[in-house]
A and B are shown apart, each in its own frame.
Chain A
Amino acid sequence: MSKKVAFLQGNEAATYGALYAGCTFFAGYPITPSTEVAEIMSIELPKIGGKFIQMEDEIGAMAAILGASLTGAKVLDSTSGPGFSLKQELIGMGCISEIPCVVYNVMRGGPSTGMPTGPSQSDVMCAKWGTHGDHPAICLVPSTVQELFEEMVRAFNLSEKYRTPVFIMPDEIVAHMRERVVFPEPGEIPLIERTTPTVSPADYKPYDTSFGDVPPLAAFGSGYKFHVTSLNKAQDGFPTTKAELVQAEEERQVRKVEGNADDIIEFEEYQLDDAEVVVIAYGSTARSARYAVNVAREQGIKAGMFRLKTFWPFPYKQITAMAGKVKGFITPEMNLGMCFGEVERAAQGKVPVIGIFRVDGEPINPDQILDKIKGVK
């Protein structure tokens, strides 16, 4: 039997990806350019007995998904820049209380209201540093509509596996373009469910590290009584200010993601085997980069692309390994140098990093990238 194929918009594919992943609860607030996700969820979720709620504001939507997740549901909230800013405090609570959830953030021009219908990639640092305090961050940056579907499934899997909020952040171009999507069959992409306790309710502790860095999470209403707090907590879930307990929990929360970076980080290596100039790109910008690399190759230039699929954790190790072998890195992005800065860290001064930055609401075209490729000597 042939697979189902459809011509879908990015936001549509993302929504179907979430449903494929087993999402049963959506809360959101209308915001351009991500509203299609809420609209489709309002149609599809009740059909499967799931729940859709349009909340009174962005913060309320984030609160609602965290509450629903604690009942065991797989949850999604969709938004864009201003909404992403508003949610940051509760994203921090998702991190410290270790509540799985997926936040879909379509990147538009900013800061503030910025350019609501213009593309941007300027939220990638907000994903890492937007909420206060030390915390883990997982952020996926898909580049095609097909990938938006598949990466949405991976976002849910990572969120459940690591018991933490996961961001999936297409730029507005990827979110609103239309492409052919081949739907995976049910079961074709494995789904990961959060680990639930095997101990009795009397012995259950919601942050019991004897089960590893990602402790099992019981659901409210499943027979387990436990406390969840936004305060720094001990393994039993109750607040503590004991220095050694707080230090250990904070370090574990970050370690469970950073220590598993190899499992989380995905990337595409395009024409890298003999590459002397490497374009490091993500999202729609990677599409221009691929074209530029192809043209450069036709002209005899050994160019390649390292395409980020995971922005956080950042693939420092992979980029550092390339730094000793190539003549230059080029980082095109629709912001003023966010990926650029991380690539400079990874390059450790071994190789020049050349940025191409646009924040004018226009995409970076292949010619701009080709010019820089040619400039590397």
Chain B
Amino acid sequence: MAFDYEKWIRPGKLPHIWCPGCGHGIIMKGMIRAMESLKLKKENTVIVSGIGCASRLPGYIDCCTLHTAHGRAAAFATGVKLAKPEMDVIIVGGDGDGTAIGGNHFIHACRRNINLTYIIMNNNIYGMTGGQFSPCTPTGALASTTPYGNPDPGFDVAKLAIGAGATFVARGTSFHANQIDKLIAEAIQHKGFSVVEILDDCPTTYGRRNKFKSVIEMMNRLKDIAVPVKAAEKMTAEQLKGKVLTGVLYKDDTKPEYTVEYDKVIERAKAAK
């Protein structure tokens, strides 16, 4: 039997705003499969986003949803989770929203290790505003604000998350659609701050400027650069040049989770009364 996505989609809210060839819909479907596989309760699930193409995702999903201001999703989600730790709280957003204007909230949410899942849909560009370069645009790439090639070095989102203290970090791509739900499901189950970076494509504002002839060519790029972490162990540095590791990149079950630690603060405060 075919998977019933509509169970999780709000009636009347489709079609979505995303362009033909955009990978965000693939990621949304993966997310829905993950939530269904974990039997999350819609009334007990909050999806939080900031601003951008990816941040429109919560409007389509039938649960508690919060579409906030640019860059602030992680801070809003922190407030929701700390106030009601029993809820499942998932953040979605793009690379610019999460790592530029929202970079401070992102690294501090990682540091706190609060039990949230952050799905970063990384298409290397600010799509909604027309293709300006983001902190994840490759050096040398063309964007509407890098007409002579991008002089900026980019972020490695996964390394940033690990360095800042996140305790579950995974990476997938929108080409590897069947892996997305598994990575997201594992992230949601993890007790701590989990980051799932999904490499994605923006054919409209990135592909056209950077001489990709088709969406298929962009998808093939994702297929070619992705190397599962297991496979990478057997490869040389030379072979790994230009490749990107996919799968679960980092997992630490020993670092205390924030809301659990705060419950201990409450216990200590009550004892000291």
Binding site for B on A (CB under 8 A): 24-25, 27, 43, 46-47, 49, 51, 53, 55-57, 59-61, 63-71, 73, 75, 89-90, 93, 201, 220-231, 238-239
Q: Is the CB of A63 within 8 A of B75?
A: yes
Interface of A is mostly: mixed
Pick from B59, B266, B270: contact of A238, CB below 8 A.
Answer: B59
Total interface residues on B, CB under 8 Å, equals 42
Question: Do residues B67 and A51 form an inter-chain contact, with CB atoms below 8 A?
Answer: no
A68–B272 Cα distance when bound, in Å, is 26
- B19-62 with Cβ < 8 A to chain A: 42-44, 46, 48, 51, 58-59, 62
B190 within 8 A of A: no
Pick from B51, B59, B266: contact of A49, CB under 8 Å? B266
* B270 & A64 in contact (Cβ 8 Å cutoff): no
* From A68, A93, A227, A230, contact of B79 by CB (8 A): A68
Smallest beta-carbon distance A77→chain B, Å: 10
Q: Which residues of A contact B108 (CB under 8 A)?
A: 55-56, 60
B62 touches A225 (CB 8 A): yes
Within B90-134, the residues touching A (CB, 8 Å) are 104-105, 107-108
A-B contact pairs, 15 of them (CB 8 A): A43-B269, A46-B268, A51-B83, A56-B104, A66-B68, A69-B79, A70-B66, A220-B84, A221-B64, A222-B43, A225-B42, A225-B43, A225-B63, A227-B66, A230-B69
Q: Is B179 an interface residue (CB 8 A)?
A: no
Contacts of A24 in B (CB 8 A): 83
Give the nearest-CB partner of B262 in chain A: A51
Residues of A contacting B80 in the complex (Cβ-Cβ under 8 angstroms)? 67-68, 70-71, 220
> Are A67 and B77 neighbours in the complex by a CB distance under 8 Å?
yes
Residues of A within 8 A of B65 (CB): 225-228
Cα A326 to Cα B222 with chains together (Å): 78
Are A60 and B64 in touch, CB under 8 angstroms? no
Specify which of B51, B83, B270 is in contact with A71 (CB 8 Å cutoff).
B83
Which A residue sits closest to B101, measured CB to CB?
A59
A231 cross-chain contacts in B, Cβ below 8 A = 67
A49 to chain B: closest residue by CB: B266
CB of B133 to closest CB in A, whole Å: 23
B43 close to A90 (CB less than 8 A): no
Chain B residues packing against A (C-beta within 8 Å): 10, 13, 42-44, 46, 48, 51, 58-59, 62-69, 72, 75-80, 82-84, 86-87, 104-105, 107-108, 262, 265-266, 268-270, 272-273
CB nearest neighbor in A for B77: A67
Complexed CA–CA distance, A60 and B74 (Å): 8
Of A55, A59, A73, A227, most B-chain CB atoms within 10 Å: A227
With A and B bound together, what is the CA distance between A51 and B66 in angstroms?
21
CB pair B72–A27 under 8 Å, yes or no, is no
Judging by beta carbons under 8 Å apart, are B105 and A60 in contact? yes
Q: Which residues of A contact B46 (CB under 8 A)?
A: 220-221
Are B82 and A51 in contact, with the CB atoms below 8 A? yes
Other 8 A-B pairs with CB < 8 A, given A24-B83, A221-B86, A239-B67: A46-B270, A63-B75, A63-B79, A67-B75, A68-B80, A71-B80, A224-B64, A227-B10
Q: Which residues of B contact A70 (CB under 8 A)?
A: 66, 80
- A221 CB contacts on chain B under 8 angstroms: 43-44, 46, 64, 84, 86-87
| Residue from B67, B78, B273 within 8 A of A64 (CB atoms) | B78
Cβ contact within 8 Å between A66 and B79: yes
Instruction: Please give, as numbers and ranges, the residues of chain B lying within 8 Å of A56 by CB-CB distance.
Output: 75, 104-105, 107-108
Are A228 and B105 in contact, CB atoms less than 8 angstroms apart? no
Contact A25 B72 (CB under 8 A): no
Which residues of A lie under 8 Å from residue B42 when comparing CB positions? 225
Report the nearest A residue to B83, measured CB to CB.
A68
Bound CA span A69–B83, Å: 8
CA–CA, A130 to B176, complex, Å? 46
Residue contact A230 to B68, C-beta cutoff 8 Å: yes
